[in-house]
Structure 1
Amino acid sequence: MDRIAPPRVVISDGGSGFAKALAKRWPTSNHQRCLFHVFAQVRRYTTSAPKTVAGKALYELAKRLFKIQSIDDAYTWIDGLLAWREEFDDFLREMTVDENGNKRATHERLLKAEAGLLRLIRDDTLFTYLTFVDITVPTTNNRLEGGVNAQLRGMLRDHRGLSLERRLKAVYWWCYEHSPRPLPVAEILKCMPTDKTIAATYRRIMRNNRVDNILPQWGDAIVWNEFHMSTEFPIYWD
């Protein structure tokens, strides 16, 4: 990353840890959250066919994110979100007692969707693209998802028999080869991670993030698909 000049703005899908990494590596760069991923996050909580009036209203509000073209539009949208909360405040405050006698919010999914939007507004990463007048800033990272990530996924599908370490090295190599000014092969080999360092890093990450009694993590278990055998019970964990 040291060879890449800090960009004026970075568009991300909101993966955990990205904001900290951005602040550390490119502290002068602005951050724009991908609006499609913002919308998708709301949709995950409301579904695409909400059953409640409040859910339908929030879902429609999220869809209007794609139509915002100016700062005035952004302020109008934020006012709409605040008005949504005011209109459905009593509904959102409803509580449910579970089987253990504990109280929890009845409509916690809507509250989580609202909290996510408010956090983006507070962090000033929802409408960053509107603050630039001399350049056009994309509002989504679809170009990366379709142009780069899709090709990486396709490559890994074509080489499904590779070990975890070699899959990661294949990703490194592909990225090196498709960079604007790739290093010579001899130089790439010098900085390429080894199987040993990749395995050590992976073990450390899994050790720090493992949660008991959950589905296996990526590369964490034997999957029938890895044996290139057909089965009527396909599993897509890996």
Structure 2
Amino acid sequence: MKNVKCPCCGAAMKRNGKTKAGSQRWRCRGCGASRTVRYDDEAARLREFAEWLLSKESQADMPGRGRTFRRRTAPFWRIWPMPDVVDEVHRVVFVDGIWVARDAVVLIACTERRVLSWHLARAETSAAWRSLLSRIAPPDMVVTDGGGGFAKAVAAEWPGTKVQRCLFHVFYQVRRQTTTRPKLQAGIELYALAKELLHIGTLRQADWWVERFMQWCDFWADSLEEKSLADGRLVYTHERLRKARRGLAALVRAGTMFAYLDPALAAEGPLPATNNAIEGGVNAQLRAVLRNHRGLSTPKRVKAVFWWCCAHVECPKDARAILEEMPTDADIDLLRAEYGVDAEDVGAPKKWGEGLVWEELHHRARYPCSTE
């Protein structure tokens, strides 16, 4: 039996017939006040929506063949699940971006077990990366695949953090230029060097690899300077090998290839050299969610990524807290109206995160104290 309390005196109430509409009427045993009780099931409907979104079930599998489900959960597509500020200092943070449309990428930061933060942008620019990093306490080391603008952003937001370039992405970029079956001897040797990157475990091996790479550059320097005539102009004959050489040389100069072997950082235990934690633990799961719910519009695809990230933080919020705290489409429209920014007049800006609306949602202040 439901235990209904009187809002006036707090005493228990008993059933007292029905109203004309058929609702249960309750009467207070103490003061005699009469009322009806309306149960709010919005949080329960939100949980139902989130469980469906993160599952493999289609709308047709839901009760009512999807029509009832769509009617019950339609309001929740307006919610934008946003991350909290991360004050805890982590040893290693992995960052990457997942593209959900041609001009929409969600930048994600995570540890080996949990998602830390996420940010929506139109491209992987330094401003977008700074918006993501500014909400996370600087870790000891960050692992990245070398997305555009990240180097500038991490130097500005996390100047004391070591940057480790994902060695698998380094190998893949060389392989893309040489192919898996290079015909030239220079390509064969460079491809072999790139494969060795995946098996380096000590500083001595790293130094030996750098030395052999420099020897390769010296030995093939004259050959890579050769030019040939193409379309009436002189071009480098081995431009693909030159591109692979430039990429490796830049990483060697920057010192981001073997940061995981730094004795000061590795004193507490081995560090990762690749971005596998975010590629397999986050990106693969997000692609599965988008694949299970094919046909969503771009805003809904972005929100699906947001919902997954929100469910995989260290302390996920319950449905009632999400309803009370998270912004909606109406909140964004209100900010646009207040600042005189029309969505149709925005066009295609190079950086999503520069707008007033998004800055309001991301709180540019570094580590704001919630008690102030």
Sort the TM-score into its range (normalised by shorter chain).
0.7 to 0.9
Q: Does 1:133 align with 2:266?
A: yes
Amino acid of the residue matched to residue 167 of structure 2?
A: L
Q: 1:87 to 1:2 in 2, by over 3 A?
A: same
Q: Is the 8 A contact 1:11 1:31 kept in 2?
A: yes
Matches within 5 A, 1:100-111: 101-111=232-242
Q: Say which is worse superposed, 63-72 or 181-190, in terms of deviation.
A: 181-190
Residue aligning to 1:168: 302
Alignment of 1:122-201 (within 5 A): 122-131=253-262, 132-134=265-267, 135-189=269-323, 190-192=325-327, 194=329
The C-alpha deviation readout for 1:209-228, integer Å capped at 9, x for no partner, is: 9xxxxxxxxxxxxxxxxxxx
Q: Deviations over 1:29-85 (max 9, x none)?
A: 211011000000000000000010000000001111122222221111111111111
User: What is the CA distance between 1:143 and its match in structure 2?
Assistant: 1.9
User: Equivalent pairs: percent with the same residue?
Assistant: 47
Query: After TM superposition, what 4+ stretches of structure 1 lie above 6 angstroms from structure 2?
Result: none
Query: In the alignment, which residue of structure 1 is the partner of 2:129?
Result: none
**Runs of 5+ unmatched residues, structure 2:** 1-83, 87-135, 334-341, 352-372
Q: Which residue of structure 1 aligns with residue 350 of structure 2?
A: 208
Find the counterpart in structure 2 of residue 114 from structure 1: 245
- Superposed CA RMSD in Å reads 2.4
Q: Map of 1:1-238 to 2, 5 A cutoff?
A: 2-3=85-86, 4-99=136-231, 101-131=232-262, 132-134=265-267, 135-189=269-323, 190-192=325-327, 194=329, 206-208=348-350
CA distance in 1, matches of 2:252, 2:235: 26
Q: Which has the larger radius of gyration?
A: 2
Does the residue aligned with 2:214 lie in a helix, a strand or coil? helix
SS in 2 for 1:84: helix
The match for 2:370 is none
Q: Which structure has more strand as a fraction of its residues?
A: 2
Tell whether the 8 Å contact from 2:260 to 2:266 is kept in structure 1 after alignment.
no
Are residues 93 and 171 of structure 1, via their aligned partners in 2, closer, same or farther at CA, if it must alter by over 3 Å?
same
C-alpha distance in 1, partners of 2:179/2:310?
39
When residues 85 and 142 of structure 1 are mapped into structure 2, their CA distance, relative to the original with a 3 A threshold, is same
The verdict on how the C-alpha distance between 1:183 and 1:26 changes in structure 2, with shifts beyond 3 A counting, is farther
Q: 2:215 and 2:169 mapped to 1: Cα distance?
A: 23
Partner SS state of residue 191, structure 2? helix
Aligned equivalents of 2:155, 2:319: Cα separation in 1: 31
Taking the aligned partners of 2:322 and 2:149, their CA distance within structure 1 comes to: 27
Provide closer, same or farther for how the CA distance between residues 22 and 184 of structure 1 changes in structure 2, counting only shifts above 3 A. farther
Gaps in structure 1 of 5+ consecutive residues: 210-238
Structure 2: which amino acid aligns with 1:157?
R
User: Could you say what secondary structure the match of 2:228 adopts?
Assistant: strand
8 Å Cα contact 2:228/2:235 also seen in 1: yes
Separation of aligned partners in 2, 1:27 and 1:2: 19
Return the structure number with greater relative CO, CA threshold 8 A, min gap 6: 2
Cα separation, 2, equivalents of 1:95 and 1:186: 67
Q: Deviations over 1:136-176 (max 9, x none)?
A: 11011112111111000000011111110011011111101
| Cα distance between partner residues in 1 of 2:186 and 2:273 | 26
